[in-house]
Each structure stands twice: as C-alpha cells, then as structure tokens.
C-alpha cells in the first residue's frame, strides 16, 4: 500500500556535513545534568549559574551553584570569573519549559564569555535524575524518576 500522507517537513534533508555541524554545535552549547554531575565529580566541573528567582532557589538548587537571577545577571557580572580567564559556565533555569537559561547564555555571550552552555532539562531534570539538591533544610536527593534516568537496582517504575 502506498501512503499519500504529506511528509513531516518540507525542508530538504540535511547532508552529512550539515548534520555533523548541527549536532556538534548542540553539544558545544548544551550539557545534560548527568554530564555536568560527572564533570564535577571528576573535579573539572564548570561554574554553575542558577538564573531562577529567590523563591525557586530556596526550594532547591544544585549544590555549589552561583545564584544570579536573570533580572540581575548583567548587573552582577563582577561575581563571575573575568572573561579573560575563559571560564566554563553552565547556566540553568527550571526545566525544558523555561527559556531563562537561554536568555542568560545569550547575555553572558554578549558580555564576552565564550565557554557558556545551557544545562538542558534545567533544575527539574537534575532533581529527577536523583542528583544532589540543596534546600533551605540542607542537602538531599529526590527519588530517581525512571522516565529520566535508570532506576537503582531492584526498584521498578511506579507508573
């Protein structure tokens, strides 16, 4: 049987060079929570910048992150290492539905920072993967969400 359905896109298929450039750029400008955590555990982690507001920060944040709310970011650039030191900076916001980290990454790039990346999934996926979280009550971990990361041995999804 022949399908008469319209193609899912009208753009031409990318050539190999285009695909390589696209995916290489994504990896250059994005990092996922597991990769950030692994880099930090190996002692070569980036400077993490949380751009959410004070209420969100108090609810929980990545331990060791610098809190620079998006609305204050450009006024507080002096709290970051100088541009000349070319620090690796990873910014994050709430999660995939928030573009605060994209706005922050743009602002930092415009300010001359070259090693800026976004943490895809934001704080939501950091917490859902069971990575350490700091709250006003101290350091904790939330249970691993089996839809975002492998479950600990012997645990099955609740869903």
Question: In the predicted model, is pLDDT for residue 18 greater than 70?
Answer: yes
Candidate list 93, 98, 107, 108, residue with the active-site label:
93
In this structure, whether the domain defined by 46-74+87-139 belongs to CATH 3.40.640.10 is answered with no
pLDDT for the residue 12: 62
> What CA–CA distance (Å, rounded) separates 77 from 15?
40
Burial of 115 (0-12, 13-18, 19+ CB in 10 A): middle
Is 98 in the active site?
no
Mean of the per-residue pLDDT values for the chain?
A: 90
CA 20 from centre of chain:
22
* Pairing label, strands 133-135, 138-140: antiparallel
Is 77 a residue whose pLDDT tops 80?
yes
Q: Domain spans of the chain?
A: 46-74+87-139
Q: Is the pLDDT of residue 159 over 80?
A: no
- Centre a 10 Å sphere on the Cβ of residue 101 and count the other Cβ atoms it contains: 27
CB 133 within 8 A of CB 63: yes
Which has more confidence, 153 or 33? 33
């Amino acid at each position: 049987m022949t399908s008469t359905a319209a193609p899912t896109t009208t753009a031409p298929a990318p050539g190999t060079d285009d695909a390589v450039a696209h995916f290489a750029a994504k990896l250059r400008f994005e990092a996922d929570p597991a990769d950030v955590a692994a880099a930090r555990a190996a002692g070569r982690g980036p400077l993490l910048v949380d751009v959410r507001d004070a209420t969100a920060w108090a609810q929980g944040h990545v331990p060791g992150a610098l809190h620079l709310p998006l609305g204050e970011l450009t006024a507080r650039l002096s709290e970051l290492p100088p541009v000349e030191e070319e620090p690796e900076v990873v910014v994050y916001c709430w999660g995939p539905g928030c573009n605060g980290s994209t706005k922050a990454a743009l602002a930092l790039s415009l300010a001359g920072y070259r090693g800026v990346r976004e943490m895809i999934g934001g704080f939501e996926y950091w917490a859902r993967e069971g990575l350490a979280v700091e709250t006003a009550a101290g350091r904790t971990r939330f249970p691993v969400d089996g839809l975002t990361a492998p479950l600990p041995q012997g645990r099955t999804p609740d869903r």
